[in-house]
Structures are given as structure tokens and as C-alpha cells.
């Protein structure tokens, strides 16, 4: 129906665009192995409080680029495991904004860039997050993906504390 309406509007000289939204939460069964081999089956999302660190194995990165591959990555905050709108398993890192930026900036600018350039990158990345929050992925269970489509995010694995100011603030 939406495509037919868009075609009709286009034919009338209008410039319509579609806005995706999630109509129903995707469903599926998630099987997880816990401590001691305990297996858990659940329909809903699984949230794991990571505390300081949790390792996610074989995270795919760089899709469509020469550096495409998989690597183990560490994350802080919490991890949400759920089914996405295509019925695939998705792992989401829930993390505070400043912690998120510490995993973005090292992926978006050269490691040996001057500290002021890194701070500028952090300010630009922060602005991008605040301007795009709730807008880019309204039909997905996450706010941003960790790729070049949004901002490359590598979690704790990509953080390098020495790159920022003495008190560890980005800006």
C-alpha cells in the first residue's frame, strides 16, 4: 500500500519518502548456554550486564571493504541479545554516550593524529550521535550500527586511553 501511495504521489509531482517503523517486535527462540552447561531457551531478549568487560567472539566488521573480517571484541555496559526484523540474531551493546565515543574515535581517526584533532573528532561524533538518535534505525532494535553507515564502533577493544586528555575526557 505504501509503495502504491508513493507512486501516486510521485506521479502527481510530489517527492514522497518512506519512513520505516517497527510494527511488531520480531520473535524467535534464543538458546543460550550458561555456567556449568545450563541451557536456557527464551523468546524474549537476553540482557547481560557486562560490568567492566565482556568478550563477544567473531564480531564481523568492515563488510564491503577490503578489511572485512571477524575478530573477538570486548565491550562494557550491557549486551542485549535478540532477534532482529529479519529473524537473525543481533547482539547490541548498551553503553553510555561518553563510553561509546571512546570506542568510536579511535576507529574514525588516525592513532597518531594530534590530540586536538582527536578532540575535534570526538565533538563531531558526539554531534552526529545526538542528531541521529532515534532517526536512523526506527525499525531496528538498535540506535546505531557499528559500521561506516553510522560511526565505526569497536568497543573497549579499540579504545586507547593514552590518546585522550590527562583526565580521560574526550572534550
Q: What is the pTM of this model?
A: 0.69
pLDDT digits (tens, 9 = 90+) for 33-47: 767 777 777 777 888
Q: Average of pLDDT values for 159-170?
A: 52
What per-residue confidence (pLDDT) applies to 7? 92
The total of other beta-carbon atoms located within 10 Å of residue 83's CB is: 19
Integer angstrom CA distances of residue 83 from 28, 139, 142, 163: 6, 12, 11, 36
pLDDT digits (tens, 9 = 90+) for 76-90: 888 888 888 778 888
pLDDT digits (tens, 9 = 90+) for 96-143: 888 888 888 888 887 778 889 988 989 998 988 888 887 777 777 777
Largest CA-CA distance found in the chain, in angstroms, rounded: 64
Q: Tell which residue, 38, 78, 43, 73, has the closest CA to residue 58.
A: 73
Q: Tell which residue, 87, 86, 83, 78, has the closest CA to residue 155.
A: 78
Amino acid at each position: 500500500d505504501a509503495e502504491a501511495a508513493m507512486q501516486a504521489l510521485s506521479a502527481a509531482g510530489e517527492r514522497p519518502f518512506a519512513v520505516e517503523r517497527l510494527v511488531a517486535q520480531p520473535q524467535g527462540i534464543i538458546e543460550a548456554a550458561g555456567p556449568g552447561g545450563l541451557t536456557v531457551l527464551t523468546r524474549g531478549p537476553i540482557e547481560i550486564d557486562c560490568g567492566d568487560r565482556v568478550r563477544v567472539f567473531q564480531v564481523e566488521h568492515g563488510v564491503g571493504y577490503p578489511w572485512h573480517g571477524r575478530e573477538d571484541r570486548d565491550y562494557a555496559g550491557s549486551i542485549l541479545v535478540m532477534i532482529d526484523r529479519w529473524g537473525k540474531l543481533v547482539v547490541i551493546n548498551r553503553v553510555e554516550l561518553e563510553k561509546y565515543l571512546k570506542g568510536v574515535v579511535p576507529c574514525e581517526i588516525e592513532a597518531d593524529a594530534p590530540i586536538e584533532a582527536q578532540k575535534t573528532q570526538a565533538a563531531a561524533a558526539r554531534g552526529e550521535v545526538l542528531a541521529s538518535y532515534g532517526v536512523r534505525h526506527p525499525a531496528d532494535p538498535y540506535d546505531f550500527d557499528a559500521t561506516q553507515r553510522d560511526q565505526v564502533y569497536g568497543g573497549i577493544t579499540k579504545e586507547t586511553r593514552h590518546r585522550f586528555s590527562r583526565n580521560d575526557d574526550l572534550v
